[in-house]
A and B are shown apart, each in its own frame.
Chain A
Amino acid sequence: NAGVMQNPRHLVRRRGQEARLRCSPMKGHSHVYWYRQLPEEGLKFMVYLQKENIIDESGMPKERFSAEFPKEGPSILRIQQVVRGDSAAYFCASSPETSGAYNEQFFGPGTRLTVL
């Protein structure tokens, strides 16, 4: 059972370009969370999605950022018109359920975005 997969692992973009980060949850998991880790800072929640639904996007910047988790395929975090301040590690986590005894989150290896 493969773990949470993220690609690309490293992404370099110039200011103004778009960045698309992909996350494939663990098999059988239908809940996906995106977190951002800025240099020398802790992880900050961005968005929580279930299949075809955004459940909580309270941590997502209001502009330029969007996320989706389609019925088929990976979850996508999209950053439009990137700026240098978007340079960070973006982590995806998945869990099998949100209520019940176990809602442990399993993290992917992250995508490190560098904006030149």
Chain B
Amino acid sequence: KQEVTQIPAALSVPEGENLVLNCSFTDSAIYNLQWFRQDPGKGLTSLLLIQSSQREQTSGRLNASLDKSSGRSTLYIAASQPGDSATYLCAAKDNYGQNFVFGPGTRLSVLP
């Protein structure tokens, strides 16, 4: 059974810093992995989707990497801004099921 964890649970950084969020999954037979952000009381916004054959995806200041052999993905945020403050979730879809297994999230606060 796939399990997804995220470290750290919470992170507070000053504006302008580069930061890395970590996601680990137990079963490396994943189909893809998706990163989301969730603002308080809101739904999920898709940030990046990495297929199992890919090593990384980039969108603007965001870069996500995938290392299936070690069961890890990272989300790199460059030059953080207060507007980046949100909870970041990673979710893995394995080759067996049709749904995503979510991690518990990292709550990010970027201080002005």
Which residues of A (27-64) have their CB < 8 Å from a CB of B?
31, 33, 35, 41-45, 48, 55-56, 58-59
Let me know if A45 and B99 touch, CB within 8 A: yes
List the one stretch of B14-22, B28-36, B68-76, B78-86 in contact with chain A: B28-36
Let me know if B49 and A42 touch, CB within 8 A: no
User: Within 8 Å CB of A48, what residues of B?
Assistant: 98-99
| Central interface residue in A43, A44, A91, by most chain B CB within 10 Å | A43
Asked if A107 is at the interface of the complex by the 8 Å CB criterion, the answer is yes
A106 CA to B45 CA, complexed, in Å: 8
Mark A20-31 against chain B: 1 for CB-CB distance below 8 A, else 0.
000000000001
Q: Which residues of B contact A (CB under 8 A)?
A: 31-32, 34, 36, 41-46, 49, 51, 89, 91, 93, 97-105
Q: Which residues of A contact B (CB under 8 A)?
A: 31, 33, 35, 41-45, 48, 55-56, 58-59, 91, 93, 98, 101-110, 112
